[in-house]
Amino acid sequence: DAGITQSPRHKVTETGTPVTLRCHQTENHRYMYWYRQDPGHGLRLIHYSYGVKDTDKGEVSDGYSVSRSKTEDFLLTLESATSSQTSVYFCAISDSGTGDYGYTFGSGTRLTVV
């Protein structure tokens, strides 16, 4: 969707290096989420944000940190990338705190840690 973009689309990085993925939205939605998608696991929530500087952990947050200094940007950082973090990362946004209307997803970032 045009209202949400992720960058980069693809990245290959070495074990132990820091990596930051960016999610940018133009919808002025309050809620933003980072998921990782792995075969056999579906989508798992890493972190989410319910406002500027308001973030919380999801089910697989170890090894990840996030920041949200502006409504439109939600950054996901792998402080020291490991091979287990090779995955496809999706950002999602929602205008409802209850999420009742579903999410809008970005196009994903395919990250390979070698």
Partner 1 sequence: AQSVSQHNHHVILSEAASLELGCNYSYGGTVNLFWYVQYPGQHLQLLLKYFSGDPLVKGIKGFEAEFIKSKFSFNLRKPSVQWSDTAEYFCAVKRGGSGTYKYIFGTGTRLKVLA
- In the complex, the smallest distance separating the C-beta of residue 15 from partner 1, rounded to whole angstroms, is 27
Measured distance between the N- and C-terminal CA atoms of the chain, rounded to whole angstroms:
30
Binding residues for partner 1 (CB under 8 A)? 1, 31, 33, 35, 40-45, 48, 50, 56, 58, 90, 92, 94, 97-103, 105-108
Sequence-ordered list of residues with C-beta below 8 angstroms from that of 108, at least 6 positions apart, any chain: 6, 9, 37, 88, 89, 90
Which is closer to partner 1, CB of 7 or CB of 107? 107
Which is closer to partner 1, CB of 15 or CB of 39? 39
Which is closer to partner 1, CB of 18 or CB of 39? 39
- In the complex, the smallest distance separating the C-beta of residue 14 from partner 1, rounded to whole angstroms, is 26
Which is closer to partner 1, CB of 43 or CB of 75? 43
Are 9 and 107 in contact, with CB atoms under 8 Å apart? yes
Give the separation between CA 46 and CA 71, rounded to whole angstroms.
Answer: 19
